[in-house]
Chains A and B, each alone.
Chain A
Amino acid sequence: MSTATARDFFRRRTAWRPLEFVFWLAAFASVLVFPSRLLLVNDVAILGLFAISLDLILGFAGILSLGHAAFFGIGAYAAGLVALDLAGDPFLGLAAGGLAAGVVGLATSFLILRGSDLTRLMITIGVASIFLEIANRAEFTGGANGLSGIAIGPLVGFFPFDLYGRTAAILSLSVTFFLFLLARRLIFSPFGQSLRALKENRLRAGAIGVPTHARIVAIYTVAAIYAGIAGALLAVTTQFVSLDVLAFRRSAEVLLVLVLGGAGWLYGGLIGALVLKVLQDQVADLTEQYWEFWLGLVLVVIVLVGRDRIARLWRLPRVLLR
C-alpha cells in the first residue's frame, strides 16, 4: 500500500459519520426541547465527560481503576476554592480543576505502572481514600460541610447561571463536546493506536518499540485532567461541593456507566451516562434512599448476562457512530 492510499484508509476510518452529527445536534437540541429538565441534561453531560475520562484509561489502555472519583473530586474542590478565594469566573474554575487534577494524575500515574490488577485496584482505591480523608479533615475544604456559598459570575460576562440550569446545561454540553473532539482526535492518532497495542499485550507492545510506561503516564494524566474538568463543571454549575464528589460510590458508578454503554468507544460513556441518569431519575421518584440497591442489581445482572451481550446491543450504533 502506498503512502497516499494508507492515508486515505485512515482518513476514511476516522471520518465523521452522519449519525455522529445527529447525536450531537440532538444533544444540544435537548436544551430547547426539554426546558424543564435542564438540570438532568447538565448531569448527563458531566457524567458523560467523566465516563469518557475513565474510558481513556480503561477502554483504551486497559487500566482497571476503582478510584477515579479522586480526580473528579480534586477538580471540583479546586474549582470551588478558586471561586471562593480568587474570582468566580466559570472558565477559571474549569482551568483550575483540570490543572489540579492533572498534576495529581501525573504524580499518581507512576504508582500504577507495576503490579497486577488487584494491586492497581487497591492503589487507585487507596489514593481516592487518601484524598477523601484530606477533604474530610482539612480546614480549607470545609470538612463534612463541604464548600458552600460559591459565587460564579456570568458566563463570558453575559449569561448568568439561573435556577433552571439553562446556562449550566449549555456550558456543560459545550465543554463535553469540545473535550470529546480532542479525545476523538487523540484515540485515532498514532498515540491512540499505540495505547490499543499496549492494552492488548504490554510485553509485545514494548517489543515493537512502544514506550509503554511513558504512554500510560501520559494517558493517565490526560484522563485525570478530563475527570478534573468534569468535577469542576459540577462545582461551577451547582455552586456547591461536598465530600460526595470523592466518594467511593462515584468511582463505582462511573464504572457502571462505562459498562452500560460499552468501553472502548467514546460514545459508550455518553450513552451509558444518558441511560443511567434517566433510569435514576425514574427510580429516584419511587425510592431515592435505596437507589444503591438498583445500582448494585444492574451491575450484578450485567455481569451475569455478560458484558459482551450488553455491548452487542450497541453494535449497530457502534458501527454508525464509531
Chain B
Amino acid sequence: MLTILFDGVAYGMVLFILAVGLSVTLGLMNFINLAHGSFAMAGGYIAVLLVNRLGIPFLAALPLVFLAAALLGVVAERVLYVHVYRKSHLDQVLFSIGLVFMSVAAVDYFMGSQQQFIELPETLRRRHQILGIALGGYRAFIIVACGALAVLLELVLSRTRFGMKLRAGVDNATVARGLGINVNRVFALTFAAGSGLAGLGGALGAEFLGLDPTFPLKFLVYFLIVVAVGGTTTLLGPFVAALILGVADVAGKYYVPAAGGFIIYTVMVAILLWRPHGLFGEAR
C-alpha cells in the first residue's frame, strides 16, 4: 500500500517535471504545443546515447541532457514555432501534431522501434527496507531530485526578476509588453527551459515510463491532463495534478489491472466536465 503510494509519488514527480514547461508555454502564449513530448523523448534518447554508448555516468549525463534538450527547444522555437503563435488553435494543433509524427518516425528510423533502457548506477538500483516498506533507491532519488527542482522553480518564479517578468507575461501579455518587458524573449527562454526540463524528465522517467519512439503519443494525454487539470496560472496546480495523476495511475494499474488506462481517461473527462478550466484554473 505504502509502496504504491511511494511509486505513485515518484511517477507524479516525473510527470510534473515533464509537463511543467508545457503549462508555462500554454499560459504565456496561449499556445497549444502537442509536441512537448517530443522534447521529452529527445532527452530520453540523448541520455541513452550518452550513458550507454559513450559511457558517461548517469548523474553526470543529466545536466548535459537538460542542456541538449534546451538547445533543441531554442532552435525549434526560433526556427519553427515563432511562425505559429498568432495562428488559430486548429493551426497550432495541426502543426504540433505534425512535429510529433515526424519525431516518432525519425527516432524509429535512427534508433529502432524497440524499448530503450538506460544503465543506472549500482547505488541507485539498490532497494531499501525502511520501516518494513520496500523502497526502490532510484525512486527515492527521483522524489528528492524532482522535489528539489520543483522548489527551485517556485523560487525562480516568485523571487527573481525573470520570474516576475514571466508572471506578468502570463497574467496579461499585452500589458506586460506595454511596461517594456520583452515578452518574446521571456517566452523563448521559458520555452528552452521547459524543453530542457521535459528532456530531463524523459531521461529520469525512461526507467519506468518506458522509452520507445511512440513516447510522445503515449504520454500526450498525460501531459495535457497535468496542464488542463492543474491550470496554467500557478506551479502548485500542475504539481498537485501530476501527483494525483501519478498515484491514481499506479494504484489503478495495481489494483484493477484489467481496466488499464481506462480510469485515468474517465477521471480526466469527469474533472474537465466539472471544472472546464481545471481544478486550479480560472476562466479566461
Chain B residue numbers with a CB within 8 Å of A116 are 276-277, 284
Closest to B84 in A: A303
For the complex, what is the distance from the CA of A249 to the CA of B217, rounded to whole Å? 9
Q: How many residues of B contact A (CB 8 A)?
A: 44
Q: Is A281 on the interface with B (CB-CB < 8 A)?
A: no
Query: Chain B, 108-129, contact with A by CB distance < 8 Å: what is the 0/1 string?
Result: 1100000000000000000000
Distance in Å from the Cβ of B201 to the closest Cβ of chain A? 20
Most buried by B among A126, A298, A304: A126
With A116-B284, A293-B106, A299-B95 as contacts: A130 and B262 at CB distance below 8 Å: yes
Chain B residue numbers with a CB within 8 Å of A125 are 220-221, 224
With A130-B269, A293-B106 as contacts: A118 and B98 at CB distance below 8 Å: no
Chain B residue numbers with a CB within 8 Å of A255 are 93-94, 97
For the complex, what is the distance from the CA of A129 to the CA of B228, rounded to whole Å? 16
With A255-B94, A297-B98, A299-B97 as contacts: A123 and B32 at CB distance below 8 Å: no
CB neighbors of A among B56-97 (8 A):
80, 83-84, 87, 89-91, 93-95, 97
Cβ of B91 and Cβ of A307 under 8 Å apart? yes
Most buried by A among B225, B258, B276: B276
Cβ of B93 and Cβ of A66 under 8 Å apart? yes
For the complex, what is the distance from the CA of A115 to the CA of B217, rounded to whole Å? 24
Chain A residue numbers with a CB within 8 Å of B83 are 304
Q: Which stretch, A41-49, A133-141, A173-181, A191-199, touches the partner chain B?
A: A133-141
Q: Is B181 on the interface with A (CB-CB < 8 A)?
A: no
Chain A residue numbers with a CB within 8 Å of B272 are 115, 119, 122-123, 126
Distance in Å from the Cβ of A309 to the closest Cβ of chain B? 12
Q: Is B259 on the interface with A (CB-CB < 8 A)?
A: yes
Number of A-B contacts (CB under 8 A): 131
Distance in Å from the Cβ of B204 to the closest Cβ of chain A? 25
Cβ of A127 and Cβ of B101 under 8 Å apart? no
Q: Is A311 on the interface with B (CB-CB < 8 A)?
A: no
For the complex, what is the distance from the CA of A180 to the CA of B266, rounded to whole Å? 34
Closest to B258 in A: A137
Distance in Å from the Cβ of B221 to the closest Cβ of chain A? 6
Q: Is A259 on the interface with B (CB-CB < 8 A)?
A: yes
Cβ of A137 and Cβ of B106 under 8 Å apart? no
Distance in Å from the Cβ of A68 to the closest Cβ of chain B? 13
Cβ of B262 and Cβ of A134 under 8 Å apart? yes
Q: Is A290 on the interface with B (CB-CB < 8 A)?
A: yes
Query: Chain A, 269-305, contact with B by CB distance < 8 Å: what is the 0/1 string?
Result: 0000000000000000000011111011111101110
CB neighbors of B among A97-152 (8 A):
111, 114-119, 121-123, 125-127, 129-130, 133-134, 136-137
For the complex, what is the distance from the CA of A129 to the CA of B87, rounded to whole Å? 27
CB neighbors of A among B183-217 (8 A):
217
For the complex, what is the distance from the CA of A123 to the CA of B100, rounded to whole Å? 20
For the complex, what is the distance from the CA of A117 to the CA of B89, rounded to whole Å? 7
Cβ of B91 and Cβ of A303 under 8 Å apart? yes
Chain B residue numbers with a CB within 8 Å of A300 are 80, 95, 98-99, 102
Chain B residue numbers with a CB within 8 Å of A248 are 217, 220
Cβ of B94 and Cβ of A299 under 8 Å apart? yes
Cβ of A296 and Cβ of B269 under 8 Å apart? no
For the complex, what is the distance from the CA of A259 to the CA of B109, rounded to whole Å? 27
Q: Is A205 on the interface with B (CB-CB < 8 A)?
A: no
Q: Is B140 on the interface with A (CB-CB < 8 A)?
A: no
Chain A residue numbers with a CB within 8 Å of B276 are 114-116, 119
Chain B residue numbers with a CB within 8 Å of A82 are none
Q: Is B9 on the interface with A (CB-CB < 8 A)?
A: no
Contact of A303 among B95, B106, B108, B109 (CB under 8 A): B95
Q: Is A321 on the interface with B (CB-CB < 8 A)?
A: no
Chain B residue numbers with a CB within 8 Å of A136 are 260
Q: Is B1 on the interface with A (CB-CB < 8 A)?
A: no
Cβ of B91 and Cβ of A252 under 8 Å apart? no
Q: Is A256 on the interface with B (CB-CB < 8 A)?
A: yes
Cβ of A293 and Cβ of B93 under 8 Å apart? no
Distance in Å from the Cβ of A217 to the closest Cβ of chain B? 15
Chain B residue numbers with a CB within 8 Å of A296 are 97-105
Contact of A115 among B259, B265, B277 (CB under 8 A): B277
Q: Is B26 on the interface with A (CB-CB < 8 A)?
A: yes
Chain B residue numbers with a CB within 8 Å of A252 are 97, 101
Q: Is A64 on the interface with B (CB-CB < 8 A)?
A: yes
Cβ of B94 and Cβ of A302 under 8 Å apart? yes
Cβ of B98 and Cβ of A122 under 8 Å apart? no
With A116-B277, A121-B93, A259-B94 as contacts: A133 and B101 at CB distance below 8 Å: no
CB neighbors of A among B223-264 (8 A):
224-225, 228, 258-262
Contact of B105 among A115, A290, A304 (CB under 8 A): A290
Chain B residue numbers with a CB within 8 Å of A304 are 80, 83-84, 95
Chain B residue numbers with a CB within 8 Å of A114 are 273, 276
Distance in Å from the Cβ of B93 to the closest Cβ of chain A? 7
Chain A residue numbers with a CB within 8 Å of B84 are 303-304
22 A–B pairs (Cβ distance < 8 Å), ordered by A: A111-B269, A117-B32, A119-B277, A121-B93, A121-B224, A122-B268, A123-B272, A123-B273, A137-B262, A249-B101, A252-B97, A256-B94, A289-B108, A290-B108, A290-B109, A293-B105, A296-B102, A299-B95, A299-B98, A300-B99, A303-B94, A304-B95
Known: A133-B265, A296-B103, A299-B94. 7 other contacts (CB 8 A): A66-B97, A116-B277, A118-B228, A126-B272, A130-B265, A255-B93, A255-B97
Give the 6 A-B CB pairs with smallest separation, nearest first.
A299-B98, A296-B101, A115-B276, A293-B105, A296-B102, A300-B98
